[in-house]
A and B are shown apart, each in its own frame.
Chain A
Amino acid sequence: MPEILLDDKAYTGADGETVLDTLTRGGATVPSSCRSGVCQTCLMRAVEGSVPAASQKGLKDTLRARGYFLACQCTPTGTLRVERPGAEAGRLAATVRAITPLNREIVSVDLECLDMGDYRAGQFINIFKDDTLSRSYSLASTPGVDPHLTLHVRKVAAGRVSGWIHEALQVGDRVAVSQPLGECFYLPSNPEQPLLLLGTGSGLAPLYGIIRDALHLGHRGPIHLYHGSSHRDGLYLIDELRTLTHEHANVHYHPCVSREEPSGDLRRGRVVDVAVGDLTGLAGWRVFLCGHPDMVQSAKKRLYLAGASLKDMYADAFIRSAA
């Protein structure tokens, strides 16, 4: 059985167990979030022993060369001595510039991060409450359009990070964030292609960034945004999105509610049902999805059977932590 050495303590792995599971089972504190190898929260460094290539997938080559790996994707074959990542490993300093309520349970948080460099609208960052606790949030801002990075943070019941952001975080505070991550973004390769954006709740965040990024980059094909919530008061940025449809004839905004009678021009039903009802034949469409993982998975299947290609579907691949 492989042994994992951390802080002068040995943890014995079970057959087929990941480093993350071995350490956590043994009582060590290792930050983690998606457990799917996407969010990179469980980044660690092997100082002795070798890690499988699969556990270094998606890491920058400079990190790989120094033995960094993802604990949730690492099933070791031999003994490993590991360290928690140094503060230099992908953590950047940011300053809170604004905190603005968007609706009853979602606030927008503007961050200024001078070291961030380039990012793509629709990517996500991890925000660290402390050394061991972080969560991933999609960026709602658009590079070249918005001066700061913007996150939409929904207050999760007993959420340790969202609770901290909602209740304690102040304008002017310094926080640690990760590099931008994720593959859910717009590329200007085909400006005539019809775009479908489907999101629920604070899953609007990356879509709000992507839709403005696409327009900023000169997208000319039709763009349909379906944003859903159970009730009217869960929707947000309604006026901003309506303004966008007035400014751009190719933008169509469809706010949907699934659990109450819609008023005005709201639509009744779940976003995927409303969209599939409206749009016959999605062959050739590019699709962006964000929201609850169950919604994303079932929508992918529905849209695929409605003609969309998997290679043209973009979604946050990670599972959001409950608390």
Chain B
Amino acid sequence: MTQALFEKIGGEPAVNVAVDIFYRKVLADDRVNGFFDDVDMERQAAKQKAFLTMAFGGPNNYTGADMRRGHAHLVTRGLNDQHFDIIVEHLGATLRELNVAETNIAQVAAICESTRKDILGR
């Protein structure tokens, strides 16, 4: 079913377009861009691409443990629910710009939601 969502959104080409829009929104938002400081841009964009692929229901091999490990240092720096919500909002706005149907955007948001506990280390 998630594979179907990935195809509906447009597969990998759509992810590439979405990453560019999404990452710009995130970096321009002072409420969250502090968490994206002093990182290698390419590596960061590659991570965003992996994240979006997963959120779009595409092929990925993320585990909850990876999510925890990957965000633990950000949780130490104060990453919380509000930041999480802002990122999901930016993702929704990105998909709206790309004319993705609201039902599919809701599915993407649900996939993101399923990672919240791991990302916030709870």
Interface string of B28-61 (1 = CB under 8 A from A): 1000000000101110010000000000000000
Per DSSP, are chain B's interface residues mostly helix, strand or loop, or mixed?
Answer: helix
Please, which residue of chain A has its CB at the minimum distance from the CB of B41? A300
15 pairs of residues in contact across A and B, judged by CB atoms under 8 Å: A297-B38, A297-B40, A297-B41, A301-B27, A304-B23, A304-B24, A304-B27, A304-B41, A305-B24, A305-B27, A305-B28, A309-B20, A310-B41, A310-B45, A317-B42
Least Cβ–Cβ distance between A72 and chain B, in angstroms: 16
Within 8 A of A (CB), among B46-78: none
Bound form: Cα–Cα A294–B27 in Å = 18
How many A residues touch B, CB cutoff 8 Å? Answer: 8
Chain B positions within 8 Å of A309 at CB level: 20
Chain A positions within 8 Å of B42 at CB level: 310, 317
Interface string of A290-301 (1 = CB under 8 A from B): 000000010011
Least Cβ–Cβ distance between A174 and chain B, in angstroms: 37
Least Cβ–Cβ distance between B93 and chain A, in angstroms: 17
Least Cβ–Cβ distance between B91 and chain A, in angstroms: 18
Least Cβ–Cβ distance between B73 and chain A, in angstroms: 16
How many B residues touch A, CB cutoff 8 Å? Answer: 10
Interface string of A227-249 (1 = CB under 8 A from B): 00000000000000000000000
Q: Is there an interface contact between A301 and B41, defined as CB atoms closer than 8 Å?
A: yes
Interface string of B2-40 (1 = CB under 8 A from A): 000000000000000000100110011000000000101
Chain B positions within 8 Å of A305 at CB level: 24, 27-28
Bound form: Cα–Cα A132–B40 in Å = 29
Chain B positions within 8 Å of A301 at CB level: 27, 41
Please, which residue of chain A has its CB at the minimum distance from the CB of B28? A305
Please, which residue of chain B has its CB at the minimum distance from the CB of A309? B20
Please, which residue of chain A has its CB at the minimum distance from the CB of B20? A309
Tell which of B27, B28, B41, B45 has the most Cβ of chain A within 10 Å: B41
Please, which residue of chain A has its CB at the minimum distance from the CB of B40? A297
Q: A297-B38, A310-B20 are in contact. List 16 more A-B contacts (CB 8 A).
A: A297-B40, A297-B41, A300-B41, A301-B27, A301-B41, A304-B23, A304-B24, A304-B27, A304-B41, A305-B24, A305-B27, A305-B28, A310-B41, A310-B42, A310-B45, A317-B42
Least Cβ–Cβ distance between A301 and chain B, in angstroms: 6
Bound form: Cα–Cα A297–B27 in Å = 14
Please, which residue of chain B has its CB at the minimum distance from the CB of A299? B41
Please, which residue of chain B has its CB at the minimum distance from the CB of A307? B24
Bound form: Cα–Cα A301–B28 in Å = 10
Closest A-B pairs by Cβ, 7 of them: A300-B41, A310-B45, A305-B27, A310-B41, A301-B41, A305-B28, A309-B20
Please, which residue of chain B has its CB at the minimum distance from the CB of A303? B41
Bound form: Cα–Cα A297–B37 in Å = 10
